[in-house]
Structure 1
Amino acid sequence: MEKKWWKEAVVYQIYPRSFMDSNGDGVGDLAGITEKLDYLKLLGIDVIWLSPIYKSPNDDNGYDISDYRGIMEEFGSMEDFDRLLSEAHNRDIRIIMDLVVNHTSDEHQWFVESKKSKDNPYRDYYIWREGKAEGLRPNNWGACFGGPAWEYDEETRMYYLHLFSPKQPDLNWENQKVRDEVFEMMDWWCQKGIDGFRMDVISMISKDQSFPDGKLNGGVYGDFGPYAIHGPKVHDYLKEMNERVLSKYDLMTVGETAGVTVEEAKKYAGENEKELNMVFHFEHVEGDGEIGKWTDKKQELLPIKKIFSKWQTALADCAWNSLYWDNHDQPRAVSRFGNDSSQYRELSAKMLATCLHMMKGTPYIYQGEELGMTNFPFQEMSQFRDIESINSYKELVDGGVVGHDKMMSYLRCKSRDNARTPMQWNRNIHAGFTTGTPWIEVNPNYDQINAENEVANSNSVFHYYKKLIELRKEYDIIVYGSFELIMDDDPEIFAYIRRLGNKKLLTLCNFSDEELEVRIPEEFCGEKAELLIHNYCTSKGECENKLLPYEALVLLFTQ
């Protein structure tokens, strides 16, 4: 497998609205990110993935873009972005942008024009259809944020498609002019010097043009998935994108591809396919919701580790994995997969980091993950800002499907706002995020969990992440070694072996709060074995046959 810089990199995702506010308006901004670059340099990351910073009315926190070449005023100016890019590059940190081109905002000039009349030159930039009959939508598809996927326009008496919010109309990728506009815009950013793209819901850009009804699956609306995810021309479009833009630069590209299978991933990210470098799949974070995605039950480890192993094995020689526990759309990793109690939060945060960063693929750290930040103790709906959480509450509680208390429990467990509370920098008011009123509340535990404390404490979660990143840069086996899951059927231990040349690497992780018996393979017990990292401060005796609660260790054997 060919060596590439983006395979060896560690990526840090920044949600700009919640990272650092430099001007006291309660909203994070580009100048705030620039201010914290030295912190990120200390951590050791190689790449920043910026969630959208473009002009937007903020119906979906920036994922509804009204101008792809403008900066959201709350975040600053293009000069602020240019300075951020320059200062990051001065520290050998690259920046990849969030590319949102399945849809735009309904306030984008293209859509403003498109709505004006059926014969407007921009009409075909979006997906317009007649209703089946008077008052009937073109089909029964439901939107991701609730409600129908079609919005009626009184002016032209037609419906437009929006797989997300009605303020996020889907672009018509069948139209060559749309593709030309998108590729030209991407090239413009590349010429500015950015280092790649994370592509939002990129697997949805091609739709079955017959727009058939979807399966109801017990709900009011039909499932658009089979007709709008991995659609008939998606790979044609990405090959065209690669040929016209991506191949001309040394970029990192990762596609958000909901519902992707390993076979489909090989098409998107295969070494010889000339599309993308890697994709995000969601199998390990989807879980078994009681109502859609909503649940308050902890996910079991057995299916999670089998999913990871499947992807590690299937893409081993032909494509590349992206590795993550959480992001701006997922709850906090330590609350979801670990244990956020005061007794076990740090241990389990370190254990989760060990488990992920020792696998094959490019690891992603979501802001605050390196501090062990936790889910927020939401008590009332006024605390939420996320359109998905608010709409789901209305749909499920007001619709009589579930009671208020149960829905609040679901939201505390799974709401996207858990990841969007402000970064916790210090013990000052609002965790040092802002001198004003934050756009969303700061987690009240910032007094204990904050960057200032973590950086000062050499045994902190922060310094553990720093060590993991240093090990990745030191040992090729961590990046390029093969992967083999062991103890496959153990419900509490995630263990695997990596191999490269004359070296073997053993990772052992206890996902429970119990002390467990474990048998360490013999070759990792001799004098040729070295303990690379361990999340307990106490020394590890030679080949002890037990793992303490949430214990994680990595052993290197050299023949």
Structure 2
Amino acid sequence: MRHQWLDDAVFYEVYPQSFRDSNADGIGDFAGIVDRLDHIRDLGCNAIWINPCFDSSFYDAGYDVRDYYLAAPRYGTNEDLRRLFDEAHARGIRVLLDLVPGHTAVDNPWFALSGRDERNECTDRYIWRPMTQSPNLNSPYDSIRGFLGGIAERPDAAAVNCFSTQACLNYGFGTVTEDWQFAADSPQAEAGRLLLQDIMDFWLGLGCDGFRVDMAASLVKEDTEDHYWTSLLWRRIREHLDAAFPDAVLVSEWGNPSQALHAGFDMDFLLHFGPSHYLDLFRERPYFSAAAAADGSATVRAFVDAYESMLADTDGEGYICIPSGNHDMIRMRDTLSPDEMKLAFAFLMTMPGCPFVYYGDEIGMRYVHGLRSKEGGYERTGSRTPMQWDASPNAGFSSGRRQDLYLPVDAADDAPTVAAQRGVAGSLLETVRELIALRHDHPALHAGGAIRFLYAEDHAYPLVYERTSRVADADAPAERIVVAINPSPTAASCPLADAPGAPLTSIGDAASWSDGVLTVPAGSATVFLA
């Protein structure tokens, strides 16, 4: 593994506009993040991922960049961001920035130059299709959402990703079928990769520790099924970083570790898309829901099969990350109760790879229904509301006027807060803190430890797996931990030939083993040390 610190890394995702407002303008900022770094450190997280914070049009909450070399003024300056890096490092926290390489905002100055009729340095920086071929702006390509016409001097239409405000940058086509398409190994496509490397070098030089890469598989259009050309692009970037910034970490939004880790990424997320069955865990007929267990709709077997397959494909090449959620998903609390979330976190903090905690999930923040879309959030908006710190106005997020807040704070009388749970035994916050501490304390639970599923049957409980530490010395004993989780409303038993050891910790009543049978109480999780 390239970066040893990742083996013990626990990440915290910060949505900057909603985390902490330091200047009462209603929008979170860099200084606000610095103000709350101690919370992240005390939770046990030693790395953070900050959602996009470059200068942006904010049609899509920062995923539409106007200037890759400038911090968004709503959050502060480049110097403020550098200070955030320094303050985080002083607390032993690494910082990843969110990099959006596939497209820019349509009001990015590069795009304006690219749209001019005379050739210039940006002419081929984006993907343009001649309007003379067809006035139809629909896309026949799976990798292009559509085309924008009538917006430039040049008689062409620009390809877009996702929203119509996001013009595709040019990394070429894996399969060229039209004379306006550049091949993935063309000089024009190569210029796109070199520009991307320059952006990364700039921020790494200012002190960031790496990047979470948005839509990492989407760069080369009409690529092969296994993303051959996009993978080659990222491997070349990885080679560059290994030479220039060998400590830099790359985490991909790819959703397919079997491809992403072979492409040179250190980690890939399991997400709400892709082959992983991630949604089976916490959101769609979730395995960790007692109600879904009771009606027989929940299962973990499909997830385990997919996970084992991905591990076999990627062993030793990088890590698979399982997040509690992110800014694109309905919050976990919408489908799980706080007690069920404790079991979900027991799973997250005892699985291989690096866990990611979405801000507010550690206190069980709710998805807020009925909100108007904000900055392209649509149904995701309810997962992006301000962090709830305490019982002061605006839940401690901001001292500004309520009507000026980026989004409304959860107005429920029982809205969870950090202050209400801090130091309270059995609270979700303290349970998450204890589970993270357990993970740090035991090498078998680190990212690189091996896993073996001992009982994971279709529509059945409990879930039981073994973690063992990897040891450099063949004569040194490996640490062995067994985890048993039963979210169902009744006790569950399974055959287990060997005794799991002594309980290290439990949520609810501890499981017990006798005569080759493990019995796990209802709504409980037990971690054994063999």
With normalisation by structure 2, the TM-score equals 0.84
- Kept in 1, the 8 Å contact 2:13–2:48? The answer is yes
Q: 1:539 to 1:207 in 2, by over 3 A?
A: closer
- Kept in 1, the 8 Å contact 2:262–2:314? The answer is no
2:440 aligned counterpart, secondary structure: helix
- Aligned counterpart, 2:102: 102
- Choose from 432, 435, 442 the match for 2:399: 435
- Aligned counterpart, 2:449: 481
Are 2:8 and 1:19 equivalent residues in the alignment? no
Please state which structure has a larger fraction of its residues in helix.
1
- Aligned counterpart, 1:369: 361
Mapped to 2, the partners of 1:44 and 1:153 lie a distance apart of 52
2:83 aligned counterpart, secondary structure: helix
Q: Runs of 5+ in structure 2 lacking a partner?
A: 173-187, 282-290, 470-476
Deviates more, 1:164-173 or 1:476-485: 476-485
Mapped to 2, the partners of 1:42 and 1:478 lie a distance apart of 19
Deviation for aligned residue 1:247: 4.0
- Aligned counterpart, 1:406: none
- Kept in 2, the 8 Å contact 1:130–1:138? The answer is no
1:66 aligned counterpart, secondary structure: strand
- Aligned counterpart, 2:176: none
- Aligned counterpart, 1:524: 499
- Choose from 430, 437, 440 the match for 1:463: 430
- Choose from 477, 480, 489 the match for 1:504: 480
Deviation for aligned residue 1:141: 4.3
Matched ranges for 1:188-199 at <5 A = 188-199=202-213
- Aligned counterpart, 1:395: none
* Amino acid in structure 2 at the alignment position of 1:484: R
- Aligned counterpart, 1:122: 122
- Choose from 495, 509, 524 the match for 2:464: 495
- Choose from 248, 272, 276 the match for 2:265: 276
- Aligned counterpart, 2:520: 547
Per-residue CA shift, 1:201-233, capped at 9, x if unaligned?
Answer: 11111113xxxxxxxxxxxxxxxxxx4885442
Are 2:232 and 1:236 equivalent residues in the alignment? yes
Per-residue CA shift, 1:228-270, capped at 9, x if unaligned?
Answer: 8854421221122122234432122111114x362x23422xx
* Amino acid in structure 2 at the alignment position of 1:375: Y
- Aligned counterpart, 1:157: 155
Matched ranges for 1:25-36 at <5 A = 25-36=25-36
Mapped to 2, the partners of 1:82 and 1:510 lie a distance apart of 45
- Aligned counterpart, 1:321: 320
Q: 1:99 to 1:485 in 2, by over 3 A?
A: same
Mapped to 2, the partners of 1:505 and 1:279 lie a distance apart of 25
- Aligned counterpart, 1:410: none
Deviation for aligned residue 1:121: 2.8
Q: 1:246 to 1:429 in 2, by over 3 A?
A: farther
1:554 aligned counterpart, secondary structure: strand
Mapped to 2, the partners of 1:524 and 1:75 lie a distance apart of 53
* Amino acid in structure 2 at the alignment position of 1:18: S
Mapped to 1, the partners of 2:394 and 2:266 lie a distance apart of 38
Matched ranges for 1:440-459 at <5 A = 440-445=407-412, 447-459=414-426
Q: 1:26 to 1:447 in 2, by over 3 A?
A: farther
- Kept in 2, the 8 Å contact 1:485–1:495? The answer is yes
- Kept in 2, the 8 Å contact 1:487–1:493? The answer is yes
- Kept in 2, the 8 Å contact 1:66–1:109? The answer is yes
Deviation for aligned residue 1:18: 0.8
Matched ranges for 1:138-177 at <5 A = 139-141=139-141, 148-154=145-151, 155-174=153-172, 175=188, 176-177=190-191
Mapped to 2, the partners of 1:459 and 1:137 lie a distance apart of 56
- Kept in 2, the 8 Å contact 1:114–1:120? The answer is yes
* Amino acid in structure 2 at the alignment position of 1:253: L
State how many pairs are aligned: 480
- Aligned counterpart, 2:251: 254
- Kept in 1, the 8 Å contact 2:486–2:492? The answer is no
- Aligned counterpart, 2:181: none
CA RMSD, Structure 1 to Structure 2 (Å): 2.7
Per-residue CA shift, 1:421-472, capped at 9, x if unaligned?
Answer: 1111112222111122321122234744110112131322222222222222
Mapped to 2, the partners of 1:71 and 1:188 lie a distance apart of 12
Deviates more, 1:18-27 or 1:116-125: 116-125
Q: Runs of 5+ in structure 1 lacking a partner?
A: 209-226, 269-274, 289-296, 390-414
- Aligned counterpart, 1:409: none
Per-residue CA shift, 1:497-529, capped at 9, x if unaligned?
Answer: 1234443221112233x113213635336xxx2
Deviation for aligned residue 1:364: 0.9
Mapped to 2, the partners of 1:360 and 1:132 lie a distance apart of 53
- Kept in 2, the 8 Å contact 1:19–1:433? The answer is yes
- Kept in 2, the 8 Å contact 1:532–1:553? The answer is yes
Mapped to 2, the partners of 1:450 and 1:520 lie a distance apart of 41
Q: 1:265 to 1:454 in 2, by over 3 A?
A: same
2:528 aligned counterpart, secondary structure: strand
Runs of 4+ in 1 over 6 A off after TM superposition: none
Deviation for aligned residue 1:539: 5.9
Sequence identity percentage = 26
- Kept in 1, the 8 Å contact 2:496–2:518? The answer is no
- Kept in 1, the 8 Å contact 2:16–2:33? The answer is yes
Deviation for aligned residue 1:133: 4.0
